[in-house]
Amino acid sequence: MQREVQILADGAAIAKRAAQEFVQAAAAAVRERNAFHVALAGGSTPKALYDLLATDSALRSQVPWDKIQVFFGDERHVGPGHADSNFRMAMETMLSKVPLKANQVTRIKGEYADAEQAAREYEQAIASHFKLKPGELPRFDLLLAGMGNEGHTLSLFPGTKALRADGRVAVRNWVGKLYTERITLTAPAACAAAEILFMVTGVDKALALKGVLEGPYEPEQLPAQLLQPKDGKLLWLVDIAAGSMLSKGIRE
């Protein structure tokens, strides 16, 4: 695994750099297999990336929209029209503004009363699309991720059951501190990706980020440590505030 940490000026610089990475990953995947599989993330930093890909004409023209298959790393236990929905955010900022057909987007059905049903259905949709045999994991070309100020990523929160969901691609996860269910890809499913791209902004993340990148390996406490591609690239794009405590990293 190649790991790279880049410390950039701010969220806008991260979005710009992430957009370049998105375009490169898409081009490489299409050259190899004539398809680009990406798992999107929720949150404010990815939102700026999606906006850029949809509205910056130079970037937009480089994306092979007709070859993309869109998935999601996690989802809140809400419907697609809810203000907290990761799908809604991606739809409003990018998916509805670019030439994509409905069958190019696979969402997690957070509106189901039973979050386990949503997780199982999402697993089945992924297995069917990637033609997975039992026990196999999907290989996303690019998986986007963020990190919370306590070190969570996707909806893998410290001390939750999803951290030990062996053999599953997606699971429901009860997050006690938020008093809610989430639906999330498991760490093994994420780690099968060809590239994981983290985007982290804000001084409130600085201590957790130092723990994740430079502290001992304690993924029960800092689940973001779990996301390390087995056979691929790991790129952390962090702003100056989030990276302020790091001793290592390429500062631009």
Predicted confidence (pLDDT) at residue 1 exceeds the cutoff of 80 = no
Burial 36-59 (b: 16+ CB within 10 A, else e): bbbbbbbbebbbbbbbbbbeeeeb
> For residue 147, which of 76, 236, 234 has the smallest C-alpha distance?
236
* Residue 90 banded pLDDT, cuts 50, 70, 90: very high
Amino acid at 190: A
pLDDT for residue 252: 67
User: Model's pTM, two decimal places?
Assistant: 0.97
Show me where the domains of the chain are located: 2-183+191-201+213-239
* pLDDT at site 103: 97
Which pair of tokens denotes residue 87? 């799908």
**Topology of the domain comprising 2-183+191-201+213-239:** Rossmann fold (3.40.50)
Over residues 99-117, the mean pLDDT reads 98
Asked whether residue 166 carries a pLDDT value surpassing 90, the answer given is no
Given this model, what pLDDT does residue 251 score? 81
How confident is the model over 193-224, as pLDDT tens digits? 999 999 999 999 999 999 999 999 999 999 99
- Reply yes or no on whether the pLDDT at 250 is more than 90: no
Mean pLDDT of 180-197: 98
* Cβ atoms 132, 122 nearer than 8 A: no
**Residue labelled with tokens 């949150």:** 43
* Average pLDDT value for the chain: 97
Total count of residues recorded for the chain: 252
- Residue range 31-89, pLDDT digits in tens: 999 999 999 999 888 999 999 999 999 999 999 999 999 999 999 999 999 999 999 99
Q: Which residues contact 170 (CB under 8 A, 6 or more apart)?
A: 108, 119, 120, 122, 123, 126, 183, 184, 185, 186, 189
